[in-house]
Structure 1
Amino acid sequence: MAMEGQHIFTLNTSWNGDRNASGEITCGNLKTVVSIPEEMGGPGLGTNPDEMLLGAAATCYLISLATMLDLSKVKAKLHLHSEGIVEVEKSTFTYKKIIHHIKIVLENYNEKHIRIANRLALKAEQTCMISKALKGNVEIVVNCSIVES
């Protein structure tokens, strides 16, 4: 059921020192340590903004697709593997691309459900709130495979 109005999410954070230190974030049910990833010269403690952005994009896509399949009466299990591509040029890091590899396991494996699942796999990425927020800045690609349960 859709709810009208505005939704406000809040995040509280603290940082415990220099660039090689760590911090903590609390946001609703999420509570974790954050730091610069090892790949970017940091300590690699807890998670980091790059992983959180990938997690936000992946979970938003997955929930959007599950909702669309449910509304279309297509019963499926979903398995998602996502990759975030960050390019480094002259010490500048740029989040360039997210690739979602979605595997849709159909309960009723027939031509109609295959067609619907393929269409919705792409539509879910276009309608996901996080994908919309990233549009024009981060390319998002969907690779879909559909199999029988």
Structure 2
Amino acid sequence: MSLDKVIYTAHATAEGGRDGRVATDDGKLDVVVSPPKEMGGSGDGTNPEQLFAAGFAACFHSALKLVARRARQEAGESTVEAEVGIGPINGGAAYGLQVRLVVTLPGIEREVAEQLVAAADSVCPYSNATRGNIDVSHAVA
């Protein structure tokens, strides 16, 4: 996939990998990262999976609100929860991710909500970037 044009470019620098610090060039994000306890770390900082989950949830929620507005549906009280799992692949030779998005759309019929989630999946940049690369599932709560 290639972009028609670049509208915005984010810049972040990591120092120390999973056990260090990551910051954006504008200073709006500056966090300590550390492996979670489940991966043998201290769990004292955030981790790349949490950052990915936060980004995916926010991006998907924006896409959901866009498609809901186009469909004349009220999504004001909606939420998107992203669960990002990490684990070994290829017999432990590498690591991979999986994502589960749980969407809550109060006051919208389930069938309509599922249609909105499917439409948001085709609009969301994170969905488009991950499609065919990692397992992403969607659930309507």
Which band: TM-score by shorter chain?
Answer: 0.7 to 0.9
Q: Does 1:93 align with 2:95?
A: yes
Is contact 2:18-2:48 (8 Å) kept?
no
Deviations 1:25-71 (A, max 9, x none): 22553221112222211222321111112222221111100111122
Q: State the identity %.
A: 21
Is contact 1:20-1:43 (8 Å) kept?
no
Over 6 Å off, 4+ runs: none
What is the distance in 1 between the residues matched to 2:93 and 2:35? 14
Deviations 1:78-133 (A, max 9, x none): 122322222235374321x2111111012xx5xxx665433111121232101111
1:130 is matched with which residue? 126
Q: CA RMSD in A?
A: 2.5
Structure of larger gyration radius: 1
Aligned length in residues: 133
Is contact 2:68-2:74 (8 Å) kept?
yes
What is the distance in 2 between the residues matched to 1:131 and 1:20? 24
Q: Could you tell me how far 1:135 is from its partner in structure 2?
A: 1.5
What is the distance in 2 between the residues matched to 1:27 and 1:34? 17
Structure 1 gap ranges (5+): none
Which is worse superposed, 85-94 or 34-43? Answer: 85-94
Q: 2:113 aligns with which of 107, 112, 117?
A: 117
2:105 is matched with which residue? 104
Q: Could you tell me how far 1:73 is from its partner in structure 2?
A: 2.0
Name the structure with the higher strand share: 1
Report matched runs for 1:41-52 at 5 Å. Answer: 41-52=40-51
What is the distance in 2 between the residues matched to 1:121 and 1:72? 12
Task: Provide closer, same or farther for how the CA distance between residues 35 and 73 of structure 1 changes in structure 2, counting only shifts above 3 A.
Answer: same
> TM-score, normalized by length of structure 1?
0.74
